[in-house]
Structure 1
Amino acid sequence: MKIAIEAQRIFRPNKHGMDFVALETIRCLQRIDTRNEYFILVGDGPDRCLEETPNVHILTLRCPSYPLWEQWALPRAVRRIRPDLLHCTSNTAPVWGSAPLILTLHDIIFLERQTARNPSLYQSLGRLYRRTVVPRILPRCERIITVSAFERDRIRTALGLDPARITAIHNGYNPRFRPLESTAEVTRRYLPEARYLFFLGNTDPKKNTPGTLRGYAEYVRRSDDPLPLLVADLKAEAAQDILREIGEEGLIERLRLPGYIPNSDLPAVYNGAAAFLYTSLRESFGIPQLEAMACGTPVVTSNTSAIPEIAGEGAILVDPTDPGQIAEALLRLENDEAFRREQIAYGLERVKLFSWERTARELLALYEDTVR
């Protein structure tokens, strides 16, 4: 087969969820499949994190904006390649084109009512773009992939799709995420304290940053020796606005706000944390909770959306809208050493169910079935 894969953002330095899914899957396909020919279509960027091999070719397409890249540069490149199929990996695809199309639709959050207004103009424009493009490309998709059974059923019901056209393929996690003996050299870049709690927060309403900070504030009031909270991906000004909104301005002294933490440093940061908070309102999968579990870090996570499917029944599942439940989970981990050890052992066992190689093999089987 001749397979074209859209991976527009994998060379940008500040990668996020969908970028890592595409990158890790392509790396595994590159390792396990030397028979088929791949054309990886990327945007320009400084982080050259993927190398060519005899059957994997990287084509860099330069364009001033993502919509123009996807709707003009990408279809022109696909016409030149003439692949047996085109796989678009990040929710959207060219509206026009003749190549058989496989779409990874990670979620349909962009079609759902928002719990709060998103203050990020970039994220709001992305939401509008997806709302415009996705309904137009679905009729021409040969197959649609999503990342959990929860999201598969939600997409199928909301969009009235034939069940045979949509498949759930779980994500994996990178084996770099594992227990480490020494982490202080890395964690000192982000905060001076040796012990801390960790949260990946931003201004996206689904990440539940206000609700998580309410839970943390309750924990601080009830703990005899509260730990600081390291919050990645949240600027100090945004944190202050949220704390003002929830009436917890004094909490700013306990937050550590370094901004973006590179993925290369995350294994050490997870390892150094006493607990990881993954208290989102809505997730289609949730790779960070697997990464933390694989590092031997207890995870306090949500009982909503696809999160329990991935975390499993033995995880610490809380109502993310209830600050008392978040605080109670943190306090139990802090005060009950036997429970803490149980959660560490549970997480290390749970992550054995997930790997990028498994994801890639299921994807390759889908490619073969589609072309056949």
Structure 2
Amino acid sequence: MSTRPNTTLSVAVTVEQLWQPSPGGSGTYIRELTEALALRDDITLLGVGARHPSAPPDPWGLPSDLRLHLSRLPRVALYESWNTLRFPRAAPRAEHIDVLHATTWAIPPRTAPLVVTVHDLAFLREPAHFTARGNAFFRRALDIVRREADMVIAVSEATRADCLRAGIEPERVRVVHHGATVPDVPVTAVRAFRARHNLVRPYVFWCGTAEPRKNLEGLLAAYALVVASGNELDLVLAGPVGWGDASARLAQAAAALPAARVHRLGILSESDLHAGYAGASVFCFPSHWEGFGLPVLEAMSHGVPVVTSRGTAMAEICGTGALLADAADPVELARAIISAATDRHDALAANARVQAAAFTWQRCAAETTAAYRAAADRAGLSA
């Protein structure tokens, strides 16, 4: 019997990622999705995590009224136990749960219809970027998804295609795009940000983790051509150091550019990050691939013209608010950056806001709720 649209579903959702030192895009997804789901009258939520003495630290908070069930096991032990032993349960036996939602690759045992969000399958694309232990964990998790998931939420068509290639049947995979929530940034905050970081010229902004797939070398090569053209744009890079030799190669490439023109800011506070977006002339995000590419949507939400990679998940969401280029072609990237900053700037900025407005967490929550109902129906259960 199928679930009725107006029936309230009790959903246990994993929120452990929010206690990570750097929750990243997955953390943003969990925080924003749970807030949007908590506003719905057809969903009741139970947050599931490992043992912790307190709630997640700010700014990675959960809805204030969200009930939590924390395991007696710490994170590493809980994840390994779920991954290998399929134990313990995510929720107490006495708790009625209609649907279980694993928001990352940490997947509790299937004690109710199971929904799993797949952000990407990076470990299949680039296994060298992960430890042997990490690769083993992710591959076991993928096997669990194949066996147990009633519904898979892919965050983009590109990720859906990867899921199908990994052997998950099409009827079990739904695309649910992220939303974007960005604060209004007053002009005074942008001025203060620029003053703190000595940004006296217009700038191209990039943010993320310095790792090989982000193609920072390609961005620096393109930026060198922008400088050689006589353009006055600076380059501002924000975010943590990643893995591999990306940071060392980035430093080497940056050393060939005028020192005063490349600004490496490291990890920014949330307020400074959004001031960095809002003050940019162009946001350039030339990754070779992403599961979704949330920074692109955030930049467009601020009305900033975007240059990003053709044929990727980012291209799905850009519409006419961005210019697409071959990520492997610095000449094409440079031309797009200059065009986005000059002759195409105003039109792209206006289109960016309009395009980004269609991607809301409320829509994400509605489509996620539909995936919950589909999972329950697929499992042959009535909510």
Calculate the TM-score normalised by the size of structure 1: 0.85
Partner in structure 1 of residue 326 of structure 2 = 319
1:349 counterpart = 2:357: no
Among candidates 46, 51, 61, match of residue 57 of structure 2: 46
Q: Distance in 1 between matches of 2:87 and 2:350?
A: 46
1:358 counterpart = 2:363: yes
Q: Distance in 2 between matches of 1:345 and 1:287?
A: 19
Contact 2:320-2:352 at 8 Å conserved across structures: no
- CA 1:131–1:369 in structure 2 vs 1: closer, same or farther (change >3 Å)? closer
Instruction: Name the count of aligned residue pairs.
Output: 357
Of stretches 24-33 and 362-371 in structure 1, the one that deviates more from structure 2 is 362-371
1:250 counterpart = 2:260: no
Q: Distance in 1 between matches of 2:71 and 2:270?
A: 25
Q: Distance in 1 between matches of 2:345 and 2:185?
A: 15
RCO (CA 8 Å, sep 6+): is it higher in 1 or 2? 2
Paired AA for residue 359 in structure 2? F
Contact 2:16-2:48 at 8 Å conserved across structures: yes
Partner in structure 2 of residue 28 of structure 1 = 36
- CA 1:188–1:127 in structure 2 vs 1: closer, same or farther (change >3 Å)? farther
What is the CA RMSD across the aligned residues, in angstroms?
A: 2.8
Among candidates 40, 58, 70, match of residue 68 of structure 2: 58
Q: CA deviation at 1:143?
A: 0.7
Q: CA deviation at 1:260?
A: 1.2
Q: Deviations over 1:73-118 (max 9, x none)?
A: 9734424435222100013413x4433211001122211246xx53
Matched residue of 1:24: which SS?
helix
Q: CA deviation at 1:257?
A: 1.8
Contact 1:71-1:93 at 8 Å conserved across structures: no
Q: Distance in 1 between matches of 2:168 and 2:299?
A: 35
Partner in structure 1 of residue 100 of structure 2 = 86
Q: CA deviation at 1:312?
A: 2.0
Q: Distance in 1 between matches of 2:87 and 2:272?
A: 33
Q: Percent identity over the alignment?
A: 29
1:110 counterpart = 2:123: yes
Q: Distance in 1 between matches of 2:126 and 2:199?
A: 40
Matched residue of 1:9: which SS?
helix
Contact 1:234-1:257 at 8 Å conserved across structures: no
Partner in structure 1 of residue 205 of structure 2 = 198
Calculate the TM-score normalised by the size of structure 2: 0.83
Contact 1:90-1:106 at 8 Å conserved across structures: yes
Matched residue of 1:290: which SS?
helix
Q: CA deviation at 1:133?
A: 2.2
Counterparts of 1:209-288 in structure 2, within 5 Å, are 209-234=216-241, 241-243=248-250, 246=253, 249-251=255-257, 253=259, 254-288=261-295
- CA 1:294–1:314 in structure 2 vs 1: closer, same or farther (change >3 Å)? closer
Q: Distance in 1 between matches of 2:231 and 2:297?
A: 30
Q: Distance in 2 between matches of 1:242 and 1:223?
A: 25
Partner in structure 2 of residue 130 of structure 1 = 138
- CA 1:369–1:97 in structure 2 vs 1: closer, same or farther (change >3 Å)? closer
Partner in structure 1 of residue 177 of structure 2 = 170
Of stretches 199-208 and 181-190 in structure 1, the one that deviates more from structure 2 is 181-190
Q: CA deviation at 1:136?
A: 3.1
Q: CA deviation at 1:287?
A: 1.4
- CA 1:174–1:219 in structure 2 vs 1: closer, same or farther (change >3 Å)? same
Counterparts of 1:302-317 in structure 2, within 5 Å, are 302-312=309-319, 315-317=322-324
- CA 1:10–1:189 in structure 2 vs 1: closer, same or farther (change >3 Å)? farther
Contact 2:13-2:48 at 8 Å conserved across structures: yes
Counterparts of 1:125-164 in structure 2, within 5 Å, are 125-156=133-164, 158-164=165-171
Q: Distance in 2 between matches of 1:239 and 1:105?
A: 25
Q: Distance in 2 between matches of 1:341 and 1:369?
A: 43
Q: CA deviation at 1:142?
A: 0.9
Matched residue of 2:257: which SS?
helix
- CA 1:13–1:187 in structure 2 vs 1: closer, same or farther (change >3 Å)? farther
Q: Distance in 2 between matches of 1:239 and 1:134?
A: 27
1:71 counterpart = 2:78: no
Paired AA for residue 57 in structure 1? R
Matched residue of 2:88: which SS?
helix
Q: CA deviation at 1:160?
A: 2.9
Q: Distance in 1 between matches of 2:255 and 2:182?
A: 39
- CA 1:191–1:304 in structure 2 vs 1: closer, same or farther (change >3 Å)? farther
- CA 1:370–1:76 in structure 2 vs 1: closer, same or farther (change >3 Å)? closer
Of stretches 341-350 and 72-81 in structure 1, the one that deviates more from structure 2 is 72-81
Q: Distance in 2 between matches of 1:274 and 1:63?
A: 47
